[in-house]
Chain A
Amino acid sequence: MPASDLDASPAMTAAAAAPTPARLLDPGFALTLRPMRYPAFYDMYRAAIRNTWTVEEVDFSGDVVDLRQRMSPAERHLIERLVAFFATGDSIVSNNLVLNLYTHINAPEARMYLSRQLYEEALHVQFYLTLLDTYLPDARARQDAFAAVQNIPSIAHKAAFCFKWMDSVRDLRRLDTHAQRRQFLLNLICFAACIEGLFFFAAFAYVYFLRARGLLHGLAGGTNWVFRDESCHMAFAFEVIATVRREQPELFDASLETEVRGMLAEAIDCEAQFAADVLSGGVAGLSLTQMRQYLEYVADRRLRLLGYAPQYGAGNPFAFMDLQDVQELTNFFERRVSSYQVGVGGELVFDAAF
């Protein structure tokens, strides 16, 4: 990078001159990796690299047949809504990542992870784009799917929720004050607990419901990988939150908790409204009551992760979600196994124990 570019950013100049910041949210662009302040972020970065996958590996060949021959109109409606949501959801997350998280989380190892996450979000967008192109051969229908974020009320509503919390930090250039850091934290919690942690988890539940019935292997297989990535993104965000909490416990006051609870309640309502639309045709095995209970159950888990008492006391109503918690044993003749790693270390020796 030419020096003039560095000079162009006032924040960058300040950081370059300043010593390594004391805390994760102190403003600037820290560059020092040794000694490393937050090795956990670096480990997460490396683990993510080992799990590289590509859209080309996903086999969509059975999906179109399933859609046409094995699924009811109500289930097809479910899929169309779901894909429409996915088509834009990951892009929203990417934007927030670049505009907010990358700017303010001030450790180079954390930014390495965020760069990797950004790539993964793009990969997810590519996956759902490919899916959409495969499922919807008609150009007009594809256009409508991407316009869903404006035209379909249940999706527009969710998007509005996301934008509200993005807009809230749009003018934050630096996190100098207590109030600014709190504002940033709320944005981070919203994306981790509500958008990735609730909206996406609900979307995954629909996919796993179908997967448990042997439908749409392409969608299920790719989503499995997306889910694996998203789980890491969430884990990273919660690690950032825990770090900030350690460094600046004063930020986590009672009013923050109140705001978080309110935010989650609003997210549940948004998602329940979406569910009413998604399930409007009647799908046996997924009732609206169960979906709401599931959302409350997931919200409680997010609250616990943030160190708060659960709000709803709901149990998990979806037995099929048990299925994704355990090891997969794939019949190699039937499905591509999703558990291979990329990047193998070690030296060639002939006396290692095995």
Chain B
Amino acid sequence: MQLLDTQTAAAQAAAAQPFSLTPPHAPAGMRVTKRNGSHEAVDLGKIVRAVTRAAQGLHAVEPLQVALKTIGGLYDGASTRELDELSIRTAAALTAEEPEYGQLAARLLGQVIEKEVRGQDIQAYSQAIARGAQLGLINARLAEFSAAHARKLDDAIDVAATARFEYFGLRTLYDRYLLRHPETRQVLETPQYFFMRIACALGGGDMAETLLLYRALADLDYLPSSPTLFNAGTTHEQMSSCYLLDSPEDSLEAIYARYSDVARLSKFAGGIGLSYSRVRAQGALIRGTNGRSNGIVPWLKTLDASVAAVNQGGRRKGACCVYLEPWHADIEDFLELRDNTGDEARRTHNLNLANWIPDLFMRRVEQDAAWSLFDPRQMPQLVDLWGDAFTRAYEEAEARGLAKRTLRARALYARMLQTLAETGNGWFTFKDRSNATCNQTAAGGNVVHLSNLCTEILEVSTEAETAVCNLASINLAQHVNDDGVDFDKLARSVALAVRQLDRVIDLNYYPIPGTRRSNARWRPVGLGVMGLQDVFFRLRLAFDSDAARALSTRISEEIYFHALRSSCMLAEQCGAHEAFADTRAAQGELQFDYWPEAQPQDAARWAELRARIRAHGLRNSLLIAIAPTATIASIAGCYECIEPQISNLFKRETLSGDFLVINRYLVEELKQLGLWTAAMRDAIKRAEGSIQGISEIPAPLRQIYRTVWELPQKALIELATARGAYVDQSQSLNLFMATPNLGQMSSMYMYAWKRGLKTTYYLRSRPATRIAQTTVSSAAPVQAVACSLENPEHCDACQ
């Protein structure tokens, strides 16, 4: 075609060197402004030397390139601080060419942090804590412990461990996690002091335990969730991630009291699940005024504003997910809350939405039967019933003609799927399965009314008791070597994590009253994993292979086993949790008993543990929950929880800015094959991080390095089902579909329900149109991309 025909040799020559170096603009005339205000000429040699020092042991980086690019972006009179910052960002930006630049950027940033801390006359861990205490940031328990053991703790600090961070992990830590001086906003702690602070706060006052914890954190073997990292050892020690609030009772006072609960929980970094199923629907009579109710939407609009107003100490936004059962007569309005068109008075852009679905609804969908909607004002009992009791009450109400309206179950199901596809919201969570498999629902009256913000927590709640859970995740990438998973180390990490999580229950600051009581009775914790994809890459397993599923299941079984064992040992020392008698475990049941396909490995080991639990009880009613780990996985530098990779090359957007992330396992493989070239990088970038169309890469590698968009989603559901037998709470299971389609979605969610999953999370899709790529050369030497207009997939203009 003409466009290509006229392309000259000059074009190709220019395209071959798309990343040519910027010549420094008159560096001789450039000056920097030093911290004391004096000026100094920019010295290229000095910058090169500083970068070279930081690059020790990194063989693929070129310090001169970093220095030149840094100077190229400088203006005359820039401060040395700006110079430091620019050199870090310059190095970080080269990560996509060579992952080692990410480590270089992290080390340069590490130096800046050290300098900042030392500059405030803080030379040791104990001094950092003392300063924090003086400033009113650190609580007395931690201050006293740190002062009493100052020498030992200071000596245990492993400065070299900071080199383990990837750039974006350290950046996230620096921007948001390290304690800052309230006025100057400078950080008071280095990353290692930060880990030591967490260890001392959660070590139970025991030196050996504290040092074990510190070592595990410094090695990034496991990390507690963000609220614990934010607040451990501080004066407001709110360390729980999740709060599950039952629906307010159907009264003005109860509704307003709930706003206040949500605000107080948000303030201290808790994520909130809130049911609204008890609140009367539109058109219901209001006795006090003889008027008619406007339904739940106006109340949720107020909640929306309230959630937006409370930000979590500036570190992240408040977040809340509202749950509604699909028999509620306002369900259709509820499903429109996140639409981006229509009446703004009926839209809530800050709330997440989830459906709490009884089995009867799914059965009616399957049978293409009718579905009735009720007003909770008339049928308040439905909220507290599940399983057969729910079905009986529901059908009886239908027979009595109490339905406000009846529609085809499939019409509502299609509407739910549509909301999910268009907004990503309106998650599918299954009420009956969640209750039937929950350790806390053995006694009548104890009902799980909802899940949490990320659909991995399932705990009973009532109007008076708000469920709470604190979380941590094991970094599986740190528990694998070339021979496979190190199960001994995994067992040790699990035991350590369970002890730590259990301590949080007693130390935690409870922002609202119903939470402390609930936590004392049930003592639930949520231990999860991250970096499952790292394990598969390391061992060269395709995500959807049988071997991968078997290994993932085995990992989950080991974690569940050792978590139960540790909790049982804690019960032997401190007693079982208060409500143990009301649990299924007290009757000898464990999670895999509810999963018919589960085949636990070593029956004798399980039998022994079961007997031990019956004898001594458990310290914790619930132990396992697979949380999304969005932020802590980036700190640890691994893939998120149980998820496949999104792409071999993607941008991570966080509050600290955007970072380019490249699959370093793939880069390593390509380097060994001699395929890691500029042309290869462009080819990967042009394909948006997919390598399926690059025929130079051997087929087995292409199989392993598929992106989540290229994997059958059925495989994700199968992995989750196999794992589910060892997850006593639930999993934040995202599903992915590049272009959602009702047929595939309806099949997929029906299948997820039939396989016995308790909850699912986001449906992720890709935008229908894209931004024009600006930095990939369009004349590509690899598999020459023909004319832009005939090959729209590969074209700059046609995207």
Taking beta carbons and an 8 Å cutoff, which residues of A are in contact with B? 47-48, 50-54, 56-57, 59, 61, 201, 211-215, 224, 227-229, 231-232, 234-235, 238-239, 242, 245-246, 249, 279, 282-290, 293, 298, 300-301, 304-310, 313-354
Contacts and interface: CB of A to CB of B under 8 A. Distances in A.
Q: Which one of A227, A288, A330, A336 has the highest number of Cβ atoms from chain B below 10 Å of its Cβ?
A: A330
B85 A287 contact: no
Given A57-B349, A352-B741, 18 more contacts: A212-B658, A224-B771, A231-B771, A284-B78, A284-B82, A285-B86, A289-B25, A305-B797, A307-B7, A314-B14, A319-B94, A327-B646, A331-B654, A333-B271, A335-B653, A339-B766, A346-B742, A354-B737
B427 to A, nearest CB: 12
A48 B526 CA distance: 43
Given A51-B769, A61-B308, A315 B17 contact: yes
A341 B96 contact: no
Given A285-B86, A289-B22, A346-B743, A339 B651 contact: no
Interface in B147-177: 175
Contact of A48 (B74, B742, B769): B769
Given A304-B778, A315-B20, A326-B688, A231 B746 contact: no
A71 to B, nearest CB: 13
B577 interface: no
A285 B85 CA distance: 9
A289 B10 contact: no
28 contacts: A47-B768, A47-B769, A48-B769, A53-B340, A211-B657, A214-B658, A228-B770, A235-B798, A284-B85, A287-B74, A289-B25, A300-B14, A301-B778, A301-B796, A305-B796, A305-B797, A309-B7, A323-B660, A324-B771, A326-B689, A329-B650, A331-B652, A341-B740, A348-B414, A350-B747, A352-B744, A354-B737, A354-B751
Given A284-B78, A304-B7, A344-B741, A56 B349 contact: yes
Given A305-B788, A340-B423, A354-B714, A330 B653 contact: yes
B25 to A, nearest CB: 4
Contacts of B120: none
A214 B651 CA distance: 13
B344 interface: yes
Nearest to A289: B25
Interface string B420-454: 01111000000000000000000000000000000
B713 interface: yes
Contacts of B278: none
Main SS of the interface on chain B? mixed
A305 B422 contact: no
B30 to A, nearest CB: 10
Nearest to A319: B93
- Identify the 8 closest CB pairs spanning chains A and B, nearest first: A319-B93, A214-B657, A50-B768, A346-B742, A282-B75, A231-B772, A315-B20, A284-B82
A319 B88 CA distance: 13
Contacts of A322: 93, 96, 660, 685, 775
B789 A350 contact: no
Interface of B: 2-8, 10-11, 13-14, 17-20, 22, 25, 69, 72-78, 82-83, 85-86, 89-90, 93-94, 96, 175, 271, 308, 316-317, 319, 340-341, 344, 347, 349, 366, 410, 413-414, 417-418, 421-424, 628, 630-631, 634, 646-647, 649-661, 685, 688-689, 712-714, 737, 739-748, 750-751, 762, 764-776, 778-779, 788-789, 796-799
Contact of A227 (B22, B417, B771, B778): B771
Nearest to A217: B655
Given A53-B340, A344-B422, A345-B742, A213 B688 contact: no
Contacts of B89: 212-213, 285
Contacts of A56: 340, 344, 347, 349
Contacts of B712: 353-354
A214 B655 contact: yes
A325 B776 contact: yes
A342 B772 contact: no
Given A56-B347, A307-B6, A315-B19, A287 B765 contact: no
A36 to B, nearest CB: 17
A201 B651 CA distance: 19
A240 to B, nearest CB: 11
Given A201-B774, A238-B797, A339-B765, A309 B10 contact: yes
A347 to B, nearest CB: 6
B72 A289 contact: yes
Nearest to B24: A289
B744 A313 contact: no
Contact of A329 (B72, B94, B652): B652
A327 B317 contact: no
Contact of A326 (B414, B424, B660, B745): B660
Contacts of A350: 366, 746-747, 750
B75 A287 contact: yes
Contact of B769 (A50, A286, A337, A351): A50
Contact of A337 (B271, B424, B772): B424
Contact of B6 (A50, A213, A309, A341): A309
B771 to A, nearest CB: 5
Contacts of B22: 289-290, 293, 317
B787 to A, nearest CB: 9
Contacts of B417: 344, 348
B422 A239 contact: no
Nearest to B5: A307
Contacts of A287: 25, 72-75
Contacts of A231: 769-772, 799
Nearest to A338: B767
A228 B767 contact: yes
A316 B410 CA distance: 52
Contact of A283 (B20, B75, B651): B75
B424 A340 contact: yes
Nearest to B410: A348
A117 to B, nearest CB: 12
Nearest to B84: A284
Interface centre among B366, B423, B770 (most CB of A within 10 A): B770
Given A235-B772, A341-B421, A326 B778 contact: no
Contact of A214 (B654, B688, B788): B654
Nearest to A341: B768
A348 B743 contact: yes
A340 B425 CA distance: 10
Given A228-B767, A346-B742, A327 B647 contact: yes
